Amino acid sequence: MSTVFVINSGSSSIKYQLINPALEGKDAVVASGMVDQIGLQQGKYSIKHDGEKIEHQAEIPDHAVGLQLVIDLFNEVGLNLDEQDVVAVGHRVVQGGNLFREPVKIDDTVIEQIASLSPLAPLHNPAHVLGMKVARDLLPDIPHVAVFDTAFFADLPDASRIYPIPQDIAEKYAVRRYGAHGTSHQYAVSYTHLTLPTSDLV
């Protein structure tokens, strides 16, 4: 069974899932969990697997410690990642700006580009970059892929994309409607096409 390790790295949390892409919906989730309150005096980290949830508390000073705790949790429930045939690590990224219109394999250049877009998502992109760097250090032999929320909205028509402000200012500061939660919208659209008769989509 091949799996994909999905990471959503926030400023003070890490949400994650281990997915079996051969299955759909909830059946695809092998395990999931969260590391919360990173950088605070008392953090917590958890995993759900086979209908049971395990949660611990500890001081979690940074994302490196947090992600290592995730790997420890997998071992605790008998899901050593080295034995799960993890074929890719997916990273959710809020803001891809005008640079990214589709998923991309992560390398040092991509990380620099995502970091450069931080002014457009100052609470999110820096945390994503932290998560990518830590995950690549801990899992260096697996390809890492960034998936962008904004990619779903990359082809918005001008009437929806452009704000009514001077275009020289818009271009200078990359101001446009980028959209949000595009990965969720993409899933909803795909699921709708799979489950509704074509006649209902017209």
DSSP codes of every residue in 83-135: GTTEEEEEEEES--TTT-SS-EE--HHHHHHHHHTGGGSTTTHHHHHHHHHHH
pLDDT at 185: 65
* CATH number of 163's domain: 3.30.420.40
pTM for the model: 0.84
Greater pLDDT, 2 or 182: 2
pLDDT at 173: 83
| Domain-located, residue 90 | yes
Domain that holds residue 173: 3-187
When divided into structural domains, the chain yields a total of 1
| Domain-located, residue 130 | yes
| Domain-located, residue 76 | yes
> Region 93-114: what's the mean pLDDT?
93
pLDDT at 45: 97
Residues catalogued as catalytic: 149
| Domain-located, residue 199 | no
| Domain-located, residue 109 | yes
pLDDT at 191: 64
| Domain-located, residue 44 | yes
Residue 175 pLDDT > 90: no
